[in-house]
Structure 1
Amino acid sequence: MFFSRLLCLGAVTALSLALPVPAQEAAVPAAGSAAQPATPALGAPAAFSFDILTARAADLAAAPFQPTPVHQPDVLAQIDYDAHWKIRFRPEASLTLGDVPVQFFHLGTYFRQPVRIFAVDQGRAREVLYTRDYFDMPEDSPGRDLAADAGFAGFRLMRPDMRSDWASFLGAAYFRSDGALRQYGLSARGIALDTGLSKPEEFPRFTEFYLEPAPEGGLIVNALLDGPSMTGAYRMVMRDSPGRGQVMDIDSRLFFRAPVERLGVAPLTSMFWYSESNRFQSSDWRPEVHDTDGLMIHTGAGEHIWRPLNNPERVVTSSYLDHGPRGFGLVQRDRDFDHYQDDGVFYDKRPAVWVEPLSDWGAGAIQLIEIPTDDEIFDNIVAFWNPAAAPQAGGQMDFAYRLHWTDRPPVEMTLARTVATWVGNGGVPGQPRPRDVIKVVVDFEGPALAGLGHGDGVTPELSAPEGVEILNPFVLPVVGTDRWRFFFDLRAAPGTETVDLRAYLARDGAPLTETWLGQIHPDQINRLR
């Protein structure tokens, strides 16, 4: 089941990701086209509210899990990636709710379980009924052999000109937006269960969607989540702002059938193969390949943290303890096209996603899971909030938060930011290079450093684990720029797998930069070079 952008979890179960139809402009009927607007067929009305949906989720959690059946698997197996994207939704059949046109995805081999989709108007919900007439498909498409009531795989939200979508829900509990620069990249999920553990990960799925216009524009997506260990009711108020990206206000109410060892709230899933920091791990011709290059955190205590991403040789979980976090996100900071040289998928335009809690999340940890990859087709990075109290059978947890899909997180920060991290051979040019020494170089840039020079008292502050030797740390301004560069060599005992470092630049004891949390894998680096 490996195809473009799978989530590969090593020992953890692999899952096909929520992929919209390959990025391309949606077909729009030409002026004077004979195509007639199609009114989607709707089922009988029934009362609906978010409270009703929440009560349903609670009732489901009190009963044994019943998976959505897969009908005609032999036919669905034939609708592979190529066959799936050739099945195109007819624009004239779009369902318009308020100011948002909605289009639907067809079932296929990677999306075999149908979802139910309802249109909500003034507290009444009516199901959108599937018909093959909504889709254009080749005469030889295996999709023509599906039953007349096959159902939909998901949906996407279109812009008013109908030429591009700005959000999509397709597969398990995944959803995506294209951000300020209109380029899809990382995904969000409703929830993550037991990600990165030695046992298989569980993937609950959105089984029902109730779509209604938002009072101030945009769309409200109400969703029912169901899985072996839990159920959930979600209310997502989604808005698209041209040039600024998307904002989603999410209210989630979770009910548990069984204990969960690791709960991931507001999970984000991304891809990181290599950047300037680990360029030596790839022989690909492009300078860098990644959706995002770092985890950004704003702690409850107000500290700003940047954690560059890695591509380790084993599954690595990093936990950052906190209480009442102000926000976190997976961020693509590097926006220079020359650093990617890819004008097909435009990694320089991939969105950043910032999670802003809107309720008291209490104690817990922001967890980052990094999974080995040797290609860009695998989503190998996961970040989420893990509450300190693990869910128990019969319990309920509620979380409210806002997702910002943008080019830069909406975080006020006067400190300088980390803009690059490099790792290479230690030692001094022109002299024999010691095999057991690694050089680390970090660049910072921002208003707090602007105008400062050699004699202005900028100092490096660096801490390392016991037994790790730091050699010759120093900082200097980069000529012709407002950047400052921090150099140091690192020596660890042979066989050391992971070294966690903490660094920032200061002046008179006050931080000038955010905190850089570097994680170095000396044993891996030494074997690769």
Structure 2
Amino acid sequence: MLKRRDLLQLAGGAAIFAAAGMPEEGLTQGQPAATVLPFSASFVVEAAKNLAAKPFAAPAAADLPAPLANLSYEAYVAIRAKPEGLIWAQDPGDFVIEPLHRGFVFTTPMQINLIEDGLSRRLDYDASKFIFAGVNLSAPPTNLDFSGFRILHRADSGDLREMAIFQGASFFRSSAPGQSLGVTARGLSIRTGDPRGEEFPVFRGVWIEKPTRAANSLTIHALLDSESVAGAYRFTLHPGEATIVDTECALFPRAAMDSFGLATMSATMLFGPVDRRGVDDLREAAAETSGLQMLTGAGEWVFRPVSNRNALQISEFVDENPKGFGFLQRKRDFDDFYDEFQHWERRPSLWIEPIGDWGPGSVELVEIPSDSESAQNMIAFWRPKAALAKGQETDFAYRQFWCWSPPSSPPLAIAMGVRSGHGAGRNLRRFQVDFRGDVLADPARVADIKANLNVSPGKIASLRVYPTPERKSCRVQFDLDPGGENACEMRLTLESQGATLSETWLYRWTP
């Protein structure tokens, strides 16, 4: 049985427990804590509970030497761990951990602890294990901890690929083999898009279990903290054709929380065929995601393209016990973008499958105006209807698929693209929505196909359907008359012989 003294030492240092309001009893004066002690996942849950019972204290971020705090992006990314600074690189296992230095905008310290054979030890910062490139340091820094860590996975060829990265607040990213990083996930979002202002929780510390080769998975425990809540997280990463991340969390609010997001993700949308207004760019598109896919609790497949708006837009898709949602990249050809540098076609889709019932709530979509392709201006998350009560533990679990395509997809035609331009009249806006799927190859069904299109407010000035069975596709073209409105919601499905042939396509037009 672990005693209080063991729990203090188990952190591998006093920083986390000082923030939690725990005394440093059991630590030898002037000496570091014991670095090899038993670990239990319940320890992180208990630490989060104790942390939430105390006032929030922001982690110190002002201890960086000036040359590190004032780095340019180019100078920062040139800092990297030496081979001897990589964790488990010489072991026969499939996972390698690369600690990431603090600097640039990544100033908040993260404590990293390693678990081997059930024992935990703190990873001590050592400047000699980093290459600083052109950074001019008068003296090597000490006791900085880290800004995060990168996870490398060894393929069958023996080569290491970047599988995931945890860095900055509670942000992390992953990808499938052959992809580059794109969509960013968060441990938790608080008041995103809320006039009261957004709150960004941080991972104060992590405990990474050294995996066995037989397990073929990596488990990370993380302690989350912010003004409103503390939480204990457990991430289990499974490599494969898709990288699967099983996520479990226990949240302990410091105050009642009525606006928070689960499974939050963000992605870049600069422009595409539906929103090229004011864009002078030779590329076809610049976007990490095509849109937001949802599988509702009632079993309806819904797809909502995203757009770089002229003004902030927030959309709410009310549901109960959702079966899945996520940002999908449906464009997988180079010709969809013509960008040799960014290769948007290689960005991962991120699909979420809730584990257990999440009850009533809504999938929220926030579209933020942006003129930079480095800004992830599309944000989506699940917002529970019920608020979290102060001091009451609430648990959630879900599975993430970082993939080329989700594990489940509509057994219907899907909306592969949408274009927009001037309509036949002065105030009309023309749309073309292209559906594709095997169901559209049936000549008998296609002969009787029709488009069910609704708009509110506004009206449809014309509507045409162009099926092409030999290409398994169907184009729907229509002119929207907004009638002086500032926003029009559209809903479109294909139908034949009384049966639905497509997913539900949704879109909001704005000037």
In the TM superposition, what whole-angstrom CA distance separates every residue of 1:313-355 from its partner, at most 9, and x where no partner exists?
1111111111111100001001111121111121011000000
**Displacement after TM superposition at 1:196 (Å):** 0.8
In 2, are the aligned partners of 1:80 and 1:108 still within 8 Å (CA)? no
Say if 2:382 is the partner of 1:393.
Answer: no
1-structure distance, mates of 2:278, 2:239:
38
In 2, are the aligned partners of 1:80 and 1:110 still within 8 Å (CA)? no
In 1, are the aligned partners of 2:248 and 2:395 still within 8 Å (CA)? yes
- What's the counterpart of residue 150 of structure 1? 144
- What's the counterpart of residue 77 of structure 2? 85
Change (3 A) 1:212 1:94: same
In the TM superposition, what whole-angstrom CA distance separates every residue of 1:225-270 from its partner, at most 9, and x where no partner exists?
01111111110100222xx130001111111112333110010011
- What's the counterpart of residue 44 of structure 2? 53
- The SS at the match of 2:239 is strand
Aligned positions of 1:489-500 closer than 5 A: 489-494=479-484, 496-500=485-489
**Displacement after TM superposition at 1:509 (Å):** 2.0
- What's the counterpart of residue 384 of structure 1? 381
1-structure distance, mates of 2:168, 2:159:
23
- What's the counterpart of residue 18 of structure 1? none
- What's the counterpart of residue 176 of structure 1? 173
In 2, are the aligned partners of 1:273 and 1:290 still within 8 Å (CA)? yes
- The SS at the match of 2:440 is coil
2-structure distance, mates of 1:320, 1:144:
55
1:254 corresponds to which of 234, 248, 251: 251
2-structure distance, mates of 1:440, 1:279:
13
Question: Is 468-477 or 70-79 further displaced after alignment?
Answer: 70-79
In the TM superposition, what whole-angstrom CA distance separates every residue of 1:364-409 from its partner, at most 9, and x where no partner exists?
1010000001121211011000000022322332110000000111
**Displacement after TM superposition at 1:159 (Å):** 2.3
In the TM superposition, what whole-angstrom CA distance separates every residue of 1:401-431 from its partner, at most 9, and x where no partner exists?
000000111114320110011111111xxxx
- The SS at the match of 2:380 is strand
1-structure distance, mates of 2:292, 2:283:
23
Say if 2:55 is the partner of 1:64.
Answer: yes
1-structure distance, mates of 2:439, 2:361:
31
- The SS at the match of 1:378 is coil
Change (3 A) 1:145 1:281: farther
Change (3 A) 1:177 1:127: same
1-structure distance, mates of 2:501, 2:397:
33
- What's the counterpart of residue 438 of structure 2? 447
2-structure distance, mates of 1:405, 1:52:
29
In 2, are the aligned partners of 1:469 and 1:491 still within 8 Å (CA)? yes
In the TM superposition, what whole-angstrom CA distance separates every residue of 1:138-175 from its partner, at most 9, and x where no partner exists?
3x514564532222111111122454311011110000
2-structure distance, mates of 1:314, 1:165:
36
- What's the counterpart of residue 336 of structure 2? 339
2-structure distance, mates of 1:375, 1:146:
36
In the TM superposition, what whole-angstrom CA distance separates every residue of 1:410-457 from its partner, at most 9, and x where no partner exists?
114320110011111111xxxxxx211111110000011113379621
1-structure distance, mates of 2:414, 2:303:
8
1-structure distance, mates of 2:272, 2:34:
51
Amino acid in structure 2 at the alignment position of 1:126: R
Amino acid in structure 2 at the alignment position of 1:157: I
Say if 2:281 is the partner of 1:287.
Answer: no
Change (3 A) 1:515 1:76: same
1-structure distance, mates of 2:438, 2:493:
15
Amino acid in structure 2 at the alignment position of 1:99: D
2-structure distance, mates of 1:180, 1:281:
36
Change (3 A) 1:303 1:180: farther
- What's the counterpart of residue 360 of structure 2? 363
TM-score by length of 1: 0.86
- What's the counterpart of residue 345 of structure 2? 348
**Displacement after TM superposition at 1:280 (Å):** 2.8
**Displacement after TM superposition at 1:508 (Å):** 1.7
1:115 corresponds to which of 105, 110, 116: 110
- What's the counterpart of residue 511 of structure 1? 500
2-structure distance, mates of 1:295, 1:304:
11
In 2, are the aligned partners of 1:91 and 1:162 still within 8 Å (CA)? no
- What's the counterpart of residue 126 of structure 1? 121
- The SS at the match of 2:471 is coil
Size of the alignment, in residue pairs? 471
CA RMSD of aligned residues (A): 1.9
1-structure distance, mates of 2:55, 2:138:
35
1-structure distance, mates of 2:169, 2:247:
17
In 1, are the aligned partners of 2:65 and 2:141 still within 8 Å (CA)? no
Aligned positions of 1:429-508 closer than 5 A: 434-452=425-443, 456-466=447-457, 468-478=458-468, 481-494=471-484, 496-508=485-497
Amino acid in structure 2 at the alignment position of 1:460: A
2-structure distance, mates of 1:446, 1:455:
12
In the TM superposition, what whole-angstrom CA distance separates every residue of 1:446-487 from its partner, at most 9, and x where no partner exists?
011113379621011111114x11122121114852210011
Say if 2:35 is the partner of 1:44.
Answer: yes
- What's the counterpart of residue 131 of structure 2? 136
Structure 1 segments unaligned to the other structure (5+ residues): 1-40, 428-433, 525-529
1-structure distance, mates of 2:190, 2:320:
21
Identity, % of aligned pairs? 33
1:419 corresponds to which of 413, 416, 419: 416
2-structure distance, mates of 1:415, 1:309:
21
**Displacement after TM superposition at 1:363 (Å):** 0.8
Amino acid in structure 1 at the alignment position of 2:219: I
TM-score by length of 2: 0.89
In 2, are the aligned partners of 1:263 and 1:391 still within 8 Å (CA)? no
**Displacement after TM superposition at 1:182 (Å):** 2.2
